[in-house]
């Protein structure tokens, strides 16, 4: 049968296609994915034939998890709809959270402002002008009390996009749970806690890589018993894709980071099999529809195989569970209504790829943080896919598509090449320190931008189908007075707290940092004494030092 198909295919190519091309050429000499992988003119069973295809596909919840990590996937329940939100003060963000929950959001996702991410209090000189701008400002437990006012932590799961100060924010969340009468063992959510991608793509680091990894593993070790339902790390490829990496690079470098954390856990004397069960991942949903679906499937399958090769055979550890966010870097300020369509297609790709939770960007995010109306539309996009499209009625509906399966294989094979190179360099920390990973991503980003400038890649409304008309658009603006309010609140906290108790707690934080004791218990004690983000971070800075990127 295969020979007959090969013959028929060759006959079609030589007679039918060539005859057509002699009359009218195709639009391009070469068709590629958004990442530069070549699309064939047509895919056939020849591209996926053989026993390997059956083995690679498998069944949902069974190794190698190509088709998903749950046996019933969205037939059981939809993915968690988790809109990333945060701006201004805790009070304003609390209002946005409650609005989204009322509108049908099923999980919280917190965006913190840059001072909070970098470990600076709102009255620090470097925080001036940045307080509450790209996320909510959190200085102390007092702010978290306002942030979660009237939001019962035993009823929601919460994702916190925080890295360098992850231990402090998690401690605050635990403390808020206690104040609500919710014990830590019942708290559900995810903390990003992925420092490696900060050095590669995002830049909100404080400490050098090795002490940062130590803090991350301390969080994992602490939560194993104290907060067992918590996902202690979200290994993130999203930001690398935002910086310009390809789909293949996103899979390769994200999973390489994951392997580095497995190694760190083992080096710390912890049970890698047990802790890997609480790993989660975070991917970007970019524009190329078929490539993105294949990317998610390839990542899931490759992670399972990599762990198997490392001797980790526990199915729960092998399962790659991931959150997806639509691609912020694809949003355009020109003709912003087009972003609604982009986001819908990207979200659909994430769902067809089997995501566990999803954030859909708002149409105005090329200008500012989203308005209430635009964030409602972004949430409705997910709800429409879930309730009206029909794609949730069967699992992995594009399985068996010759194109999708071939692309899945191609992405896995390409990622393997990068993983081998990273392994030869000694792992991701040496690869990052040498600048290798950063250079690979920057080269890919440069190639992509050149394609746009040469019109080899069309961006609707930007380099083609442009219009010359004034932009009338509602933009969310952060009132500059909010910064002064936040600073005054911080001053009030410092006056009211028990500074003797705080001093004692800070001494314990310093002692743990200098030694090998887990950092989480003393940080939790300092947080309950209303120690601030900046004070706790400065105590750790004094021990660990600060990282400066080598150019």
Q: What is the per-residue pLDDT across 514-528, written as a single tens digit (0 to 9) for each?
A: 999 999 999 999 999
Q: 389-403, 471-485, 528-542: lowest mean pLDDT where?
A: 471-485
pLDDT of 458 higher than 80: yes
pLDDT of 22 higher than 70: yes
Proportion of the chain in helix, strand, coil states, percent, rounded to 5: 55, 10, 40
The C-alpha torsion from 316 through 318 and 323 to 329, rounded to 10°, is 170
Q: What pLDDT score does 49 carry?
A: 77
Percent of the chain with pLDDT over 70: 99
Q: How far apart are the first and last CA of the chain?
A: 57
The residues, any chain, with a CB within 8 Å of residue 201's CB and separated by 6 or more, are 239, 240, 242, 243, 245, 438, 441
pLDDT of 546 higher than 90: yes
* Beta-ladder partners of 30: none
**Tokens 């500074």 belong to which residue?**
499
Average the pLDDT over 127-151 and give the result: 97
Q: Three-class SS of residue 276?
A: helix
pLDDT of 253 higher than 80: yes
pLDDT of 3 higher than 90: no
**Rg, the chain, Cα only:** 24
195-366-104 Cα angle (round to 5)? 80
Distances (CA, A) of 133 to 92, 128, 136, 373, 482: 12, 11, 7, 19, 10
Distance CA 285, CA 358 (A): 10
Question: In the numeric block, which tokens belong to residue 155?
Answer: 């009823």
Name the pLDDT band for 1 (thresholds 50, 70, 90): low
Run of H or E including 160: strand 157-161
Round the average pLDDT of the chain to a whole number and report it.
Answer: 95
Distance CA 186, CA 316 (A): 20
* Beta-ladder partners of 188: 157
pLDDT of 35 higher than 80: yes
Average the pLDDT over 376-395 and give the result: 98
Distance CA 458, CA 263 (A): 42
Distance of CA 512 to the CA centre of its chain: 30
Average the pLDDT over 85-90 and give the result: 95
Residue 253 burial (C-beta neighbours within 10 Å; 0-12, 13-18, 19+): buried
Question: In the numeric block, which tokens belong to residue 384?
Answer: 């429409």
Average the pLDDT over 255-262 and give the result: 97
pLDDT of 342 higher than 70: yes
Average the pLDDT over 311-331 and give the result: 97
Alpha-carbon torsion 101, 104, 108, 110, what sign?
negative
Average the pLDDT over 131-135 and give the result: 95
Name the pLDDT band for 55 (thresholds 50, 70, 90): confident
User: All domains of the chain, ordered by start, with CATH?
Assistant: 51-453 (3.20.20.240)
342-57-410 Cα angle (round to 5)? 60
- What is the DSSP-derived secondary structure letter of residue 544? H
Name the pLDDT band for 469 (thresholds 50, 70, 90): confident
Residue 392 burial (C-beta neighbours within 10 Å; 0-12, 13-18, 19+): buried
The residues, any chain, with a CB within 8 Å of residue 56's CB and separated by 6 or more, are 64, 66, 301, 405, 408, 409
Q: What pLDDT score does 551 carry?
A: 66
* Exposure string for 326-342, b = 16+ CB within 10 A, e = fewer: bbbebbeeeebebbbeb
Distance CA 33, CA 294 (A): 11
Question: In the numeric block, which tokens belong to residue 138?
Answer: 């959190």
Residues 178/150, Cβ–Cβ less than 8 Å: no
Question: In the numeric block, which tokens belong to residue 14?
Answer: 């030589």
């Amino acid at each position: 049968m295969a020979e007959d198909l090969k013959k028929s295919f060759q006959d079609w190519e030589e007679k039918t296609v060539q005859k057509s091309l002699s009359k009218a050429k195709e639009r391009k000499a070469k068709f590629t994915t958004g990442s530069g992988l070549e699309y064939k003119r047509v895919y056939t069973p020849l591209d996926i034939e053989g026993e390997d295809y059956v083995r690679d596909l498998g069944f949902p919840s069974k190794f190698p998890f190509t088709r998903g990590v749950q046996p019933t996937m969205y037939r059981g329940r939809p993915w968690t709809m988790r809109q990333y939100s945060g701006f201004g003060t805790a009070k304003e963000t609390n209002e946005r959270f409650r609005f989204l929950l009322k509108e049908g959001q099923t999980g919280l996702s917190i965006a913190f402002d840059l001072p909070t991410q970098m470990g600076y209090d709102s009255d620090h000189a470097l925080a001036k002008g940045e307080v509450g701008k790209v996320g909510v400002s959190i200085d102390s437990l007092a702010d978290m009390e306002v942030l979660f006012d009237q939001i019962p932590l035993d009823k929601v799961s919460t994702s916190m996009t925080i890295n360098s100060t992850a231990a402090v924010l998690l401690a605050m969340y635990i403390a808020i749970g206690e104040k609500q009468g919710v014990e830590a063992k019942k708290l559900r959510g995810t903390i990003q806690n992925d420092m490696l991608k900060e050095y590669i793509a995002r830049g909100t680091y404080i400490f050098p890589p090795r002490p940062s990894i130590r803090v991350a593993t301390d969080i994992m070790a602490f939560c194993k018993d104290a907060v067992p339902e918590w996902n202690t790390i979200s290994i993130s490829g999203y930001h690398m894709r935002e910086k310009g990496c390809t789909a293949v690079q996103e899979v390769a470098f994200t999973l390489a980071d994951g392997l580095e954390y497995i190694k760190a856990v083992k080096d710390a004397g912890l049970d890698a099999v047990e802790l890997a069960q609480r790993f989660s991942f975070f991917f970007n949903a970019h524009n190329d529809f078929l490539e993105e679906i294949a990317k998610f499937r390839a990542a899931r399958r490759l992670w399972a195989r990599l762990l198997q090769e490392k001797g980790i055979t526990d199915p729960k550890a092998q399962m790659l569970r991931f959150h997806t966010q639509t691609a912020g870097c694809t949003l355009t300020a020109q003709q912003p209504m087009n972003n609604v369509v982009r986001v819908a297609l990207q979200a659909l790709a994430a769902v067809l790829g089997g995501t566990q939770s999803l954030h859909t960007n708002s149409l105005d995010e090329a200008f500012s943080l989203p308005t209430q109306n635009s964030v409602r539309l972004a949430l409705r996009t997910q709800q429409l896919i879930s309730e009206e499209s029909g794609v949730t009625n069967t699992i992995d509906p594009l399985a068996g598509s010759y194109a999708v399966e071939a692309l899945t294989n191609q992405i896995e094979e390409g990622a393997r090449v990068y993983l081998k190179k990273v392994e030869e360099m000694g792992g991701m920390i040496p690869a990052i320190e040498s600048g290798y990973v950063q250079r690979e991503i920057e080269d890919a980003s440069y190639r992509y931008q050149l394609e746009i400038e040469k019109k080899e890649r069309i961006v609707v409304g930007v380099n083609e189908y442009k219009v010359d008309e004034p932009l009338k658009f509602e933009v969310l603006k952060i009132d500059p007075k909010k910064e002064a309010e936040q600073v005054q609140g911080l001053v009030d906290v410092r006056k009211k707290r028990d500074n003797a108790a705080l001093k004692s707690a800070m001494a314990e934080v310093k002692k743990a940092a200098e030694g090998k004791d887990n950092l989480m218990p003393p940080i939790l004690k300092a947080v309950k004494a209303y120690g601030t983000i900046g004070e706790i971070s400065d105590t750790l800075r004094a021990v660990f030092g600060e990282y400066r990127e080598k150019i």
